[in-house]
């Protein structure tokens, strides 16, 4: 009997069916929520810079005061009822999804030091068996230099964690490269 190799099977694309069709959350901050309103445009690309049209992005962030809408965050900072802090969207044919949110406040990190404003990101896509975790920081924020997590990334790769201001004053663009020369820094969490 001769064994003939066959192509390997990859995971997905099932995100559009089970996780985003009826469970999409693109508006993280309702109108009237405290803070600087922003539009966050995420784009997922493969190693060749080709858009990934069937990925799913989840974001989790603190409110403008630096508090997460989660029972484990017991800081004595106010919660905002119109702010849920979580979003989930599938990418479109151009590998893009867009969230309506606010710029997050600073949250305490190890030793109580404040972290720079950031958004936590999970990336799910075909062929990825375990989510990829990264962060979005905002280019030009002076507190980036103090952030202990951002400092974990080698200096020459930190730009892969920085959202860039877009065409409109409230727009921030963040490219996620899954691999290749421009691969985004991912964290092992």
Reference 84, options 63, 99, 105; nearest CA is: 63
186 part of a folded domain: no
Are the CB atoms for 178 and 52 separated by under 8 Å?
yes
Angle at 102 between CA 61 and CA 119, to 5 degrees: 30
Per-residue model confidence as pLDDT tens digits over 91-118: 999 999 999 999 999 999 988 899 999 9
Residue-range definition of the domain harbouring residue 64? 15-80+91-177
**Total structural domains in the chain?**
1
Angle at 120 between CA 40 and CA 56, to 5 degrees: 65
Predicted confidence band at 136 (pLDDT cuts at 50, 70, 90)?
very high
150 part of a folded domain: yes
CATH code for position 152 = 2.60.130.10
44 part of a folded domain: yes
**Within a 10 A sphere around the Cβ of 178, how many other Cβ atoms?**
19
The H-or-E segment that residue 38 falls in is: strand 37-45
Are the CB atoms for 137 and 120 separated by under 8 Å?
no
Provide the edge-to-edge strand list for the sheet that holds 171-177.
86-90, 56-60, 118-124, 132-138, 162-165, 171-177, 37-45, 96-102
48 part of a folded domain: yes
Q: What are phi and psi of 108, to 5 degrees?
A: -70, 145
Q: What is this structure's pTM?
A: 0.89
Per-residue model confidence as pLDDT tens digits over 7-47: 544 555 555 555 556 578 888 999 999 999 999 999 999 99
10 part of a folded domain: no
């Amino acid at each position: 009997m001769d064994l003939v190799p066959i192509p390997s099977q990859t995971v997905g694309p099932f995100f559009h069916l089970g996780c985003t069709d009826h469970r999409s959350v693109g508006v993280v901050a309702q109108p009237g929520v405290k803070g600087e309103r922003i539009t966050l445009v995420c784009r997922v690309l493969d190693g060749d810079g080709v858009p990934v049209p069937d990925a799913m992005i989840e974001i989790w962030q603190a409110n403008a005061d630096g508090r997460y809408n989660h029972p484990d965050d017991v800081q004595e900072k106010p919660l905002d009822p119109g702010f849920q802090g979580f979003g989930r969207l599938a990418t479109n044919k151009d590998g893009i999804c867009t969230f309506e949110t606010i710029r997050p406040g600073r949250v305490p990190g190890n030793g109580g030091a404040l972290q720079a404003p950031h958004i936590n990101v999970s990336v799910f896509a075909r062929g990825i068996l375990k989510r990829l975790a990264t962060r979005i920081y905002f280019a030009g924020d002076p507190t980036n230099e103090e952030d202990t997590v951002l400092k974990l990334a080698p200096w020459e790769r930190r730009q892969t964690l920085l959202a860039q201001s877009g065409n409109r004053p409230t727009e921030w663009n963040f490219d996620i490269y899954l691999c290749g020369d421009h691969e985004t820094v991912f964290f092992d969490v």
